[in-house]
Structure 1
Amino acid sequence: MLRIDFLILPILTIAYGLQYYDKAVLGSATLFGILRDLDLTTARYSQANAFFYYAYAVAAFPMAILCQRFGKHLNIFLGTMVVLWGVIVMLTPVVKDWRGLYAQRFFLGQVANSPVKAFLFALHRSVGITRVRSDYKTLVHETRDANQNRYLVFVYHGYSSATGLFSIFSGLVNRRLGAVHTSLAPWKLIFLVPGAITVIFGAFLLLFLPPSPLQHPIVSIPGYNKLPAHILQETHEKVRLDGNPAVRGEGDDGRPAEAKWDWSQAREAVVDVKIWGFFLMATAIYVVNGSVTVFGPLLVKSIGYTSLQATLLLTPGGATTCISIYIFALLASSRRIARTIPFSRTILLVLSCLPPIIGAVMCWKAGWENKAVPLAGYYLLPTFGAPFVLLLGWSTANVQGGTKQAISSAAIFLGYNLGNIAASYILLPSEAKHHYPTTFKTVIGVMCATIGVTLIISLFMARENKRRDAEQFASVGARRDVRVTDVENEKEAVDLGIAREEEEARDVSDGQNRSFRYIL
C-alpha cells in the first residue's frame, strides 16, 4: 500500500495544485491589463469568477457518472480531461471581450471538475483503500478505521501542499512573466504557461498512471509505476476481502462492487443536523476565498504596491496556507490530544477560524500608511484552508453509511461552490479609499458563523453520545456514569468492538448503529 501511496500522492498534489493555479491565474491577470483589454468592470470580473463555480457545480454529477463509466480506463479518462482542461486555459488569450471570458470560465469549470472526481474514485475503488482490523480499544473509542486515516492523509497533504506550494510557485512564475516584454500582453503569457504545464501533466497521466494497482500503465517503469507481482496480489486480496465499508460484494472483474443506494440513509441524511451544519460551514469558509484568490492581487496592490511587487508579495500567503493546515492537521490526528482534551476536534476547529478573523481586522482597521501591517493581515487570510480540511476530517469521522457519506460529501461540495460564488461579489470598488470594509466585515462574519455552527454541531453530537451511553449501559446493567472506555471487562469491550465492526460491514448509518460514538 505504501508503494501505491508514493505513486498516487505526488500526482494528486500536482493535480490539485494545477487546478488551483488555473483558477487563480485570473486574479493575477488583473494586475497586468486583462480588465482593460476585455472591458471587465468589477461586476463583470466578479461574474466571470462566479461562472467557473456555476459550471463546477453543474458538472459534478455528470463527471461522477463518467468516472464510473470509464473506471476500468481511469488513466485514459483522466489524462484526456486534463489535456482538454489545459487547452481551454491556453485558449484564454484568444478571448476578445468579457462575453468570451464568461464562456471560457464556464467550460473550464466543467472540465476542471474531472481531476477531483477521478482521484476520489481512484482512492475509493482502484487504489484500494482498505479497512485494517484494530484492537478492541481502537474499535470502541479511538479512530474510526485505517482507511479513513489513510484517506485523510491524501486530503490533508494533497490540499495543503497543492494550494500552498502552487500559490508560491504561481506567484514567482507570474512575477517573471509580468516583466517579460513581448508582442503578447503580459496577462496572455500568464495564461499560456500554466495551460501548457497542464497539457504536459495530462499526457503524463495518460501514459504513466496505472488504471488501478491491479493493472499496468501504458508506459511501465519498474520500481515506479510497475508494481511487483507480490504487491499486486497483496493489494488484490486486501481490496477483495477487506474493502471500504461502503463496498459490498464483488463485481465481474473481481473487485468490490459499489454499495447500492439506501433510501433510509438518504432520508436520515436530509434531517440530520450535522450534515446541514457541514453544508453551512463549507459555504461560510469559502466565502473568505474572495479575499484571497478572487480579489487578493487587487487588495495587495491597493495597499500601495506596483503590479510586479504585488505579484511577488502574494507568495507568502501560500506558506501560511501550508503551515496552518499542517499544524492543525497534526494536532487533529494526535491520539494523545484526543484522549486528554475533551472536545479537542471542536476546539481545534474554533481556533483555526481565528487567524483569518485577526487578519481581516488588521487589514480593515490598520492605517495603510504602514504597509507592513495590512500586508501581514493579508497573509493570515489564506489560513481559511485549515478549518476547511478539519471540516473534511470531522465529517468523514462522524458520518457512517455509504449513502449517507455520499450525501454528506455532496453537501460540503455544494457549500464549497456556493461559498466561492458568493466570494466573487464581496469587494466593492467604491470602498477602496476606506480599505474595503465590506470585504473584511464579510470575512469576519462568515468565520464567526463557522465557529457558531461548529459549537452547535458539537453540542448536538455530545448530547447524542450521552444518550447512546445511557442506552448501552442500561442494556448491560452498568452504572450510567461509566463510559465505554472505562469498562473493566475486556471480553465485554471486545464484544462491543466486534458488534460495531459488524454494523459497519453491513453498511448501516451512524443513526442506525447505536454503538457508534461521534468524535468531538
Structure 2
Amino acid sequence: MADNSKPAAYDAAETIEHVDATPSRQQHHHHHEEHASKDKAADVLEDAGHSAILTPENNARVLRLIDWRILPIVLGIYFLQALDKATLAYGSVFGLVTTAHLHGQQYSWLGAVVYLAQLVCQPIVAYTLVKVPLGKFLGVTVFCWGAVLSAMAAAKSFPSLLVCRMLLGAFEAGVAPAFISLTQMWYRRREQPVRLGAWYAMNGITNMFGSLLSWGLGHISSATLAPYQIIFLFFGLLTVVFSAVVLIFMPDSPIDAKFLKGEDKLVAVERLRLNQQGIKNDVWKWDHVKEAVFDPKTWLWFAMLFSISVPSGGISTFGPLIIKGFGYDQFTTILFNMPFGAVQLIATMGGAYVAMVWKLKSPVLMFLSIPPIIGCVMLLVLPHDASHRGPLLVGYYLISVYPGITPLIYSWQAANTAGETKKKITTAIMIVGQSAGNVLGPNLYTTDEAPLYRRGLISNLVLFIVLIILYAIQILILKIQNHKHEKTRESLGKTAKVVDKSMLAVKTPSDEDLEVKTTANVLDRSLQDITDWQNEDFVYVY
C-alpha cells in the first residue's frame, strides 16, 4: 500500500525504502541530482512554503492576466509569420515569376525550401527550447526572419530567392514548437485548444488582411521597386519592429513573469500542476528522448501532421493560382482569396471551441476532415469553365476548412505528453512530419498542370481520408495507455479511476481543499519532471 501523504520529491523510477539517519556524501549527491531534475516551479512552492488554493475567482483573474500579456504577443508573431510565408504567393500574382525568370519546379521549390530548412533545424530547436529562456528565443527569432524578408526585396533570381527563403525557414523553425511549449507552460489542458487555435487562426486573418494589404501595395507605382519588392520590404520591416516588442514584453515562463505578483504566481503554478505535465526545467534528459522515440503516439502525431501538411503546403502556395485558373484577373484573384481566410478562421476557432466544450479532440478532427474531402472531389469533377465558377469557388472554400485540423493535432499532442525533454522531442518529431509534408505538398502541384492541378488534388483527397484512419488508431492507443495507468494506480493502492481536473472548470473549493497545503504535500509527481509513461497519475485525453 503506497503512502500518499509522502512528499513526492523521491525519484520517479524507484521508491527509497530505507534512509540512514546520518546523511552521507552519496545521499547529498543524490539530493542534488533530484533537485536539478525537478521542475523550476517546485522551487517557487518551496520558497513560499505552501501552495495556493484554486478558486473560480482567482483562477479567472490570473488567466485574464496571462491572456492579456501573452496572447497579443503570440498572435502578433504568428500573424507576421503567416504573412511572411504568404508573401511568396502574393509576389507570384504581382510579377515575381516573370521578373525572376522562374520556370518548371523553381516556384514550387521556393515554397518548399522554407519547410526543408525547418525540418533540418528541428533537433537544434528541441534542445534550444529546453536550455534557453523562451521569451528571449522568440524575440531574436522574430528579428532574424524580419531582416531576411527585408533583404529578399533585393533578390531578383532563383538562386538568391532560394537562399533567402531557406534562411527564412531556418529562423521560423522554432516558432510553432515554441508556441506549443508556451501553451503547455501557461495554460491548463482544458484551455489549450482555444489558445492554440487562436494563434494558428492568424493564418486566416493573414489570408484576409494580407490579401487586402498586398492588393493595396500592388497598386503602388514605383520607378525603382517592383510591386513584389514593395510587399517583401514592407512586411519585413514590420516584423523587425515587432521583434522589439517581443524582447521587451514576453516573459520566459510563469516562474519568471514580473506581471504575476505574490499569490498570483502561486495560483499560476497551482493551475498548471493539475496538468501533470510540469512547467519548466532546463535539464536535458536522455531517458525522455528514448521514451519519445519509442512511444507509438509520437509517430502517429508525426503521420497526422505529415498527412495534413501535404495539402496545406500545396494549397497555401498554389491557392491564388488555383483561383486564377477559374478565369479571374490578378486583382480579383487576390480578393477572392479573402473568403478562404474567413472560412479558415471560423473552422479553426469553431473547432477549438467545440473541442473545449466536449473535452474531446478526436471527434472534432474527424468532422473537420470531411468538408475538404467534398471540396477536392468538386474541384476534380467539375468542368473548369466560366459557367462553373461559383461551384468551383464553393469547392475551394470547402477545402479551406483544413487549417482547423493542424492546431487541434498540436493541442491533442500537447495535452498527452509530459516531461520537459519528452515534450520538446515529441513536438520536434511532429514538426519534422509537418515540414516534410510542406516540402512535398507544393511539388505535387506544378504550373504546367494549370488550371486543373489533378495530381495535387488527388493526393490531397487520399490524405484527408488517411487522416480519419490515423485518428481512430490514436484513440485506441490512448485508451490502452489509460488502462495501463489504471492498473498501476490500483497496484499502488490508489483509486484506479481518477477525475482529470485539468479538463474541468474550476469549482468553489470544499472545506478539505481550503486547508493550507504545505511544501511537504504540494510537491507531488506533477513537479518531478517525469514523463506521461512514468507518472501513473497522468490521464490521456481523446
Compute the TM-score of the two structures, normalised by the length of structure 2: 0.75
Partner of 1:261: 285
Which one of the candidate residues 244, 263, 284 is aligned to 1:234? 263
Structure-2 residue corresponding to 1:84: 144
Query: Partner of 1:136 in structure 2?
Result: none
Q: Secondary structure at the match of 1:304?
A: coil
Compared CA separation, residues 368 and 330, structure 1 to 2 (3 A) = same
Could you say if the C-alpha distance between residues 516 and 51 of structure 1 is closer, same or farther in structure 2, counting changes exceeding 3 Å? Answer: same
Paired with 2:485 and 2:183, the residues of 1 have a C-alpha distance of 32
Instruction: Output the CA distance in 1 between the equivalents of 2:482 and 2:129.
Output: 37
The alpha carbon displacement at 1:260 in A equals 4.5
Cα distance change on mapping 1:291 and 1:121 into 2, 3 Å: closer
Give 3-state SS (helix, strand or coil) of 2:398's partner. helix
Amino acid at match of 2:435: N
Q: 1:167 aligns with which of 202, 207, 221?
A: 207
User: Does the alignment pair 1:506 with 2:522?
Assistant: no
**2:454 corresponds to 1:421:** no
Q: 1:467 to 1:96 in 2, by over 3 A?
A: closer
Following the alignment from structure 2 to structure 1, what is the Cα–Cα distance between the partners of residues 283 and 132? 18
Partners of 2:469 and 2:183 in 1: CA distance: 33
| One of 163, 187, 198 as aligned partner of 2:239 | 198
C-alpha contact 1:328 1:386 (8 A) present in aligned 2: yes
> Residue 425 of structure 2: which of 373, 384, 407 is its match?
407
How far apart are residue 472 of structure 1 and its match? Answer: 6.2
Change (3 A) 1:42 1:24: farther
C-alpha displacement of 1:378 = 1.1
Q: Determine helix, strand or coil for the equivalent of 1:147.
A: coil
User: Which residue is equivalent to 2:90?
Assistant: 28
Shift of 1:259: 4.7
> Residue 104 in 1 paired to residue 164 in 2?
yes
Check conservation: 2:305, 2:437, Cα contact below 8 A. yes
Match of 2:503 in 1: none
CA spacing shift, 1:65–1:461, aligned 2, 3 Å:
closer
Which of 276, 293, 299 aligns to 1:270? It is 293
How many Å separate the matches in 2 of 1:506 and 1:79?
29
Alpha-carbon displacement from aligned partner over 1:249-288 (angstroms, at most 9, x marks no partner): xxxxxxx64354151x433332322111110001010111
Relative to structure 1, is the Cα distance of residues 203 and 396 closer, same or farther in structure 2, using a 3 angstrom cutoff? closer
How far did residue 471 of structure 1 move? 6.9
The amino acid of 1:401's aligned partner reads G
> Contact 1:52–1:109 (CA<8 Å) still a contact in 2?
yes
Which SS does the other structure have where 1:5 is aligned?
Answer: helix
For residue 328 of structure 1, the aligned residue among 345, 351, 363 is: 351
Task: State the shift of 1:436 in Å.
Answer: 1.6
**Residues 214 and 235, structure 1, Cα contact 8 Å, conserved in 2:** no
Asked if the contact 2:348/2:403 (under 8 Å) is kept, the reply is: yes
The answer to whether structure 1 residue 15 and structure 2 residue 97 are counterparts is: no
Shift of the 39–7 alpha-carbon distance from structure 1 to 2, 3 Å rule, reads same
Are the structure 2 counterparts of residues 501 and 346 from structure 1 closer, same or farther at C-alpha, using a change threshold of 3 Å? farther
Q: Distance in 1 between matches of 2:127 and 2:419?
A: 20
Matches within 5 A, 1:465-504: 465-466=482-483, 502-504=524-526
Q: Name the CA distance, whole Å, in 1 between partners of 2:464 and 2:537.
A: 33
User: Do structure 1's residue 385 and structure 2's residue 427 form an aligned pair?
Assistant: no
Paired residue secondary structure (1:258): coil
SS at match of 2:156: coil
Deviation at 1:117, TM superposition (A): 5.3
Q: Aligned to 1:432, which of 450, 464, 468?
A: 450
Aligned partners of 1:288 and 1:381 also within 8 Å: no
Is 1:374 aligned to residue 374 of structure 2? Answer: no
- Whichever residue aligns with residue 398 of structure 1, its letter is N
The two structures, once aligned, show a CA RMSD in angstroms of: 3.3
Amino acid at match of 1:376: V
2:322 is matched with: 299
> What does residue 337 of structure 2 align with?
314
Q: Secondary structure at the match of 2:471?
A: helix
1:188 and 2:217 are equivalent in the alignment: no
Higher relative contact order (CA 8 A, sep 6+): 2
**Amino acid of the residue matched to residue 6 of structure 1?**
W
Percent identity, aligned pairs only, is: 27
Aligned to 2:19: none
| 1:454 alignment partner in structure 2 | 471
Distance 1:215 1:290, change over 3 A: closer
Aligned length: 456
Name the counterpart of 1:51. Answer: 113
In structure 1, list runs of 5 or more residues that go unmatched. 130-145, 217-225, 249-255, 339-343, 486-493
Alpha-carbon offset, residue 475 of structure 1 = 8.3
Give the equivalent residue in structure 1 for 2:363.
347
- Partner Cα distance (2:299, 2:131) in 1: 30
Deviations 1:287-328 (A, max 9, x none): 111342111111110111111110111111111111011111
Over residues 325-344 of structure 1, what are the superposed CA-to-partner deviations in whole Å (9 max), with x where a residue is unaligned? 1111111111xx35xxxxx5
Q: Which amino acid aligns with 2:384?
A: W
Does the CA contact (< 8 Å) of 1:90 and 1:192 recur in 2? yes
Paired AA for residue 381 in structure 2: K
